[in-house]
Structure 1
Amino acid sequence: MPIFHLLLCSVVIFFVLYAPQPMLAQFAEHFAITPAKAGLLMTVTMLPLAVAPIFYGLVLTRFCKLIVLRNTMIALALCCTVIGVTQQFELFLAMRFIEGLLLPAALTSMTGYIGQTWQGQCLRKNMTWYVGSTIAGGYLGRALAANFATWWGFESFYLFNAVLLLVLALMVKPTYNKAINQAPFTSPRAYLKPLKSAKLLRLYGAVFCMFYCFSALLNYLPFILSNEYQVKDPKLIAWIYSGYLVGALISMVTPLLSKLTHNNWQILTTLFAIYSLTLLAMQWSSLSFFVAMFTLFCACMFMIHASAAPLANELSTANASITNGAYVSFYYCGGALGTFVPGFIYQIYGLAIFLISLLFVCMFGGYLVLQNQRTGSETQCGV
């Protein structure tokens, strides 16, 4: 499968995950529900993403990854079609949960295919491009959904997305690998055992903290903009998410950071430090400054993600599907909690305490990476 086709699939799949986010305040008003309940549209999708990828990683050691990817995209297209023709919040929520069960199959298929097909610097380059495609998909999904909702209703975007998913899925041409299909059965414990490495678990923990903070801020950004800065227009909120896109462009240069220093843990520690400082700086009550810090916050998150994903593959001795399945699980476990728990903090204590709570989580993630940096030179390059 050409990497360009895989990247297009990634972009459209991430439309599914993030499309509701900029419209959460609008959904809360439309369905007469609280911000925390509106946030469930993201939470119910991310909860399966927190636990299912390891299971899918085990499954994908036995099945063709491209077949799983194609069938999953067709199923996602059906879910989008149902959302596009319904007006009931409960059915909308149910479809989001089903999408959450399907999405980890697609994500683990794509990352597992990259980890299995390419090695060395080519792996880093293609994994970075993959991370960039997820960022582009997240941004475009938010921006297009908000604009479609303004002009034609949110249902129109879901129908449009269903068509894109179906077309790209039918273009996937699986390649059958007999060596994989005929591999001897190995117990799940044997597959998971290599993940017990302390350095790898600390890296996964840091990724959890990273995405917890990111999901929290992006999920409640519409409410922050509306309540703190009186920005209520969904189109304007969608354009403020442009900081997301700037971060995507910056993350493309992440592989060049290894030319400045061969200590990848040092790179991650520095990025976490800047990530933390942006959360601290957002306390200043200025919309333009908040947007600038939000943009830097996004850039740091994407660069951490683009550094950590290939590093996990280089560091792990487990099967590529298992390594990436565990990575996705830790990543979205943080995301699921980040879309829900901080909502109560924001509702009860306000923006300042909300940001401080995220700061502590972010600092703990930086501490985990710093521990890896101090363990010795053998971990510096991820091997």
Structure 2
Amino acid sequence: MSACVEQDIPFIVRGTAEYRRATFALFCAGLATFALLYSVQPILPELAEYFAVSSASSSLALSVTTFSLAFGLLIAGALSESWGRKPMMVVALVLACSLGVASALTTNWHWLLLLRTLLGLALSGLPALAMAYVGEEFDPRSLPVAMGLYISGTALGGLLGRLLAGGLNDLGGWPLALGGIAALGLLACVLFIWLLPKSRHFVAQPLSLSGLLANFTRHLRNPELRVLFLLSFLLMGSFVALFNYIGFYLTAAPYHLSSTLIGFLFVVYLFGILSSNWSGRWVARFGAAKVLMASLLTMLLGAWLCLVVWLPAIVLGLALFTIGFFATHAVASGLVGQKAGNARAQASALYLCAYYLGSSVVGYTGGWVWQHFGWQLLILCLSACMLIAMYCVRKAAAKAA
């Protein structure tokens, strides 16, 4: 296709009916992905009791999913450069919902872990491709807000997955919790297929292993992208670790909260939806570096509030941590497409690979810290992750200046 013809192909522009359909479709994809992914988080204490495993081992129900998702992203991001965006996203979402149903039906711990691992591989066909789709199909001026809407869909998916799972678990146990979330995912999948416009700016590349490796190498050699990859590892790992073990912390004395009440704690995700939407406007006004630093400071303050032995302070701390996390993630994920140039799906895949590796590694390691040293040291370790992230952002901003 000639450059002239490419320029004549219209982008999706904010304010149009097509923009509303596309952003709502991506919102549904993000909702389904993260509801399926994180539905196990509020029921980890119940899984530990039912399958007679430790708190750290119970977190494997989430960690194996994010681990397989991390590496699956590299494959999915590479294949999508040749096979297209929407078809792969549709297949991925259908497979993930089917595996979600199967996970609700098993009564064997190892089978559950296997199904959750496969679910992670299936979901790997969505996040990087969705980010690449936004970068290719939306008008550049509409892109920050569109990316924020997609991230807000992931936030709402994380909220509904955790909130509904906690309530359904109290009603009918963990199988009903996982089965109900899978049904929600199927509904979102239908809406996604119906509403999302076909790719118009995607140009297929020949499937070449050397070409794919060259793209990955080029992205990894980019110092600006490396900072974003490290940020995603540290921030997602800290976020998952905090929310993995807050349930164990609050079911014990002096709080003794039920699964339903712990599920309601995830209502703080609503603040994440708002901050991810606002972040695009903040970047336009203050610049990416300042928004990232302010968001990281907000996360750090939230982590410190979780040390206060008073439930309202802990809830406020979770809210601030969530606000800062989603604002940072929305800004960083938008920067990946800008800094990558070509092969955006592979750049997004590397970003999200680091993101979910952080979830697996820091999420599981946080369980070991919690089990052996308690809540206070866990929060101090997460604070150290925030401080490292702030140092990286400051150093990158100084080089850019």
TM-score by length of 2: 0.88
Contact 1:108 1:324 (8 Å CA) reproduced: yes
Note the C-alpha offset of 1:259: 4.3
Q: Point out where structure 2 has 5 or more consecutive residues left out of the alignment.
A: 1-20
Say yes or no: does 1:100 pair with 2:124. no
Please name the residue that 2:301 is paired with: 277
Letter in 2 for 1:203: L
8 Å CA contact retained: 2:279, 2:291: no
Residues paired across the two proteins, number: 376
CA gap 1:168/1:289 in 2 versus in 1, 3 angstroms = closer
TM-align CA RMSD? 2.1
**Gaps in structure 1 of 5+ consecutive residues:** 378-383
CA offsets 1:208-248 (integer angstroms, 9 cap, x no match): 11111101101111011123542330001011121222222
**Percent identity among equivalent residues?**
22
**Is it true that 1:32 corresponds to 2:57 in the alignment?**
no
CA gap 1:351/1:168 in 2 versus in 1, 3 angstroms? closer
Out of 294, 310, 318, the residue aligned to residue 342 of structure 2 is 318
Aligned to 2:331: 307
1:354 aligns with 2:378: yes
SS of 1:253 mapped into structure 2: helix
Distance 1:228 1:200, change over 3 A: farther
Residue from 30, 39, 45 that aligns with 1:10: 30
Q: CA deviation at 1:204?
A: 1.4
**Pairwise mapping of residues 231-270 of structure 1 onto structure 2 (< 5 A)?**
231-261=256-286, 263-270=287-294
Shift of 1:175: 3.5
Contact 1:63 1:180 in 2 (8 A): no
* Structure 2 residue 110 is the aligned partner of structure 1 residue 86: no
Q: Paired residue for 1:200? A: 225
Please list, as runs of the form range in 1=range in 2, the aligned pairs for 1:204-243 lying within 5 A after superposition.
Answer: 204-227=229-252, 229-243=254-268
Change (3 A) 1:223 1:120: same
Of 354, 362, 370, which residue of structure 1 is paired with 2:394?
370
* 1:136 aligned residue: 156
SS in 1 for 2:82: coil
* Cα gap change, 1:176 to 1:211, in 2 (>3 Å): closer
61-70 vs 269-278, greater mean Cα deviation? 269-278
> For residue 334 of structure 1, what is the amino acid of its counterpart?
G
CA distance in 1, matches of 2:254, 2:265: 12
TM-score, length basis structure 1:
0.92
What letter matches 1:180 in structure 2? V
| Paired AA for residue 397 in structure 2 | Q
Q: Secondary structure at the match of 1:105?
A: coil
Give the 3-state SS of the residue equivalent to 2:180 in structure 1. helix
Q: Judging changes above 3 Å, is the alpha-carbon distance between structure 1 residues 227 and 159 closer, same or farther for their aligned structure 2 residues?
A: closer
CA shift, 1:83, in A, is 1.8
Residues 80 and 184 of structure 1: is their aligned pair in 2 closer, same or farther, counting only changes over 3 Å? closer
Q: Distance in 2 between matches of 1:278 and 1:363?
A: 13
How many Å apart are 1:376 and its aligned residue? 2.7
Contact 1:28 1:35 in 2 (8 A): yes
Query: Counterparts of 2:307 and 2:183 in 1: how far apart (Å)?
Result: 42
Structure 2 Cα separation of the partners of residues 228 and 366 of structure 1: 34
